[in-house]
């Protein structure tokens, strides 16, 4: 028997998050009702909590944040096949229209009518129950944790970056920013055949994690000029591929300047500004290939197979766990980069 009400963390404005009672939704045709068990705290939630916006996505009325989540199927709407009540699932948080030309081409991640979980005005996953399209709920095999299921969303971004800014066997790679997405990008690069990965971050504890998962060399830009050091490490050539996973003018420029002529750059990080002053002529003269990375597409199934085959690990990303009632503590820990946090997880 499902309850009639549930707890939810509702963001009313800057620094104002409240635990409230909300009605438990009923799944419509084609939907699954997910009993949410684990939700990651992403940098986007911190932007909404601290600034009330990300670009033109602004909190104008109370909203439930959260989009990196896993849980258990609690009920099914009519017409759902392939899921069972009680099944553990990882949920893809972007809901496209499925009708436009982009969706028809299989590029649903750039659907202009995308509804994204936890992006205002759409309520997200910091609640006990959520109804979501069943086709976006992916069963987790035995041995894959709910924590890893919640990390599937940031992991998918890292693998998408390597898909759209591809690596050739033996390539040298630079990853700028070792948050959860940057760390998984390191793993994806190595799995794709990179012979050497250089990673950068301003936090030494993150660089330690990067080395533990296979980065060959780590640099802290507070102590080293990243571009100069990369050129030194590559004999003046530059890396074949650079992935930017921080999101600033300086790091965008570092990624562009650190690649060889004809090299590839994947821009993952989301800067606060809409317009960035990037050096154009050096990139033009070297014919640098610059690729924007927009979320991900068709990644969950393959990542689950990788996890099940033990070719990939994501559990290491989760360094801290909080109950829903302590969500503000989780937000503050993440925004302050406290206590060696990589990813904080809200467990319900």
pLDDT digits (tens, 9 = 90+) for 306-339: 999 999 999 999 999 999 999 999 999 999 999 9
Architecture of domain 155-292 in this structure: 3-Layer(aba) Sandwich (3.40)
pLDDT digits (tens, 9 = 90+) for 293-307: 999 999 999 999 999
pLDDT digits (tens, 9 = 90+) for 196-221: 999 999 999 999 999 999 999 999 99
Task: Quote the CATH superfamily of domain 5-151+314-347.
Answer: Medium-chain alcohol dehydrogenases, catalytic domain (3.90.180.10)
pLDDT-derived band at 55 (thresholds 50, 70, 90) equals confident
pTM of the model: 0.96
> Residue 179 gets which letter from DSSP?
S
pLDDT-derived band at 1 (thresholds 50, 70, 90) equals confident
Backbone angles phi, psi at 146, to 5 degrees: -65, -30
pLDDT digits (tens, 9 = 90+) for 231-281: 999 999 999 999 999 999 999 999 999 999 999 999 999 887 778 888 989
Q: Any idea where the domains of the chain sit in the sequence?
A: 5-151+314-347, 155-292
């Amino acid at each position: 028997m499902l309850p009639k009400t549930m707890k939810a963390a509702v963001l009313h404005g800057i620094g104002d998050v409240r635990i409230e009672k909300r009605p438990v939704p009923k799944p419509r045709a084609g939907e699954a009702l997910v009993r949410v068990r684990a939700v990651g705290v992403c940098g986007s939630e911190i932007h909404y909590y601290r600034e009330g916006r990300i670009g033109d996505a602004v909190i104008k009325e109370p909203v439930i944040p959260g989009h990196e989540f896993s849980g258990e199927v609690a009920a099914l709407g009519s017409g759902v096949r392939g899921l069972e009540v009680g099944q553990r699932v990882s949920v893809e948080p972007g809901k496209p229209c499925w009708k436009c030309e982009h969706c028809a081409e299989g590029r649903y991640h750039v659907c202009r009518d995308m509804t994204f979980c936890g992006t205002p005005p759409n309520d997200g996953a910091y609640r006990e129950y959520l109804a979501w399209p069943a086709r976006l709920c992916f069963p987790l095999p035995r041995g894959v944790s709910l924590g890893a299921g919640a990390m599937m969303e940031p992991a998918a971004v890292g693998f998408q970056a390597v898909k759209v800014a591809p690596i050739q066997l033996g390539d040298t790679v630079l990853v700028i920013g070792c948050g959860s997405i940057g760390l998984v990008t390191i793993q994806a690069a190595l799995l794709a055949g990179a012979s050497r990965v250089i990673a950068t971050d301003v936090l030494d504890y993150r660089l330690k994690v990067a080395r533990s998962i296979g980065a060959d060399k780590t640099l802290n830009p507070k102590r080293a000029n990243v571009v100069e050091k990369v050129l030194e490490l590559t004999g003046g050539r530059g890396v074949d591929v650079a992935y930017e996973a921080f999101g600033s003018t300086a790091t965008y420029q570092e990624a562009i300047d650190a690649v060889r002529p004809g090299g590839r750059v994947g821009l993952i990080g989301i800067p606060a500004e809409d317009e960035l002053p990037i050096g154009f002529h050096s990139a033009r003269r070297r014919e640098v290939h610059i690729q924007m990375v927009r979320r991900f597409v068709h990644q969950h199934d393959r990542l689950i197979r990788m996890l099940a085959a033990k070719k990939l690990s994501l559990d290491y990303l989760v360094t801290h766990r909080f109950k829903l009632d302590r969500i503000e503590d989780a937000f503050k820990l993440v925004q302050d980069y406290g206590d060696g946090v990589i990813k904080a997880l809200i467990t319900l």
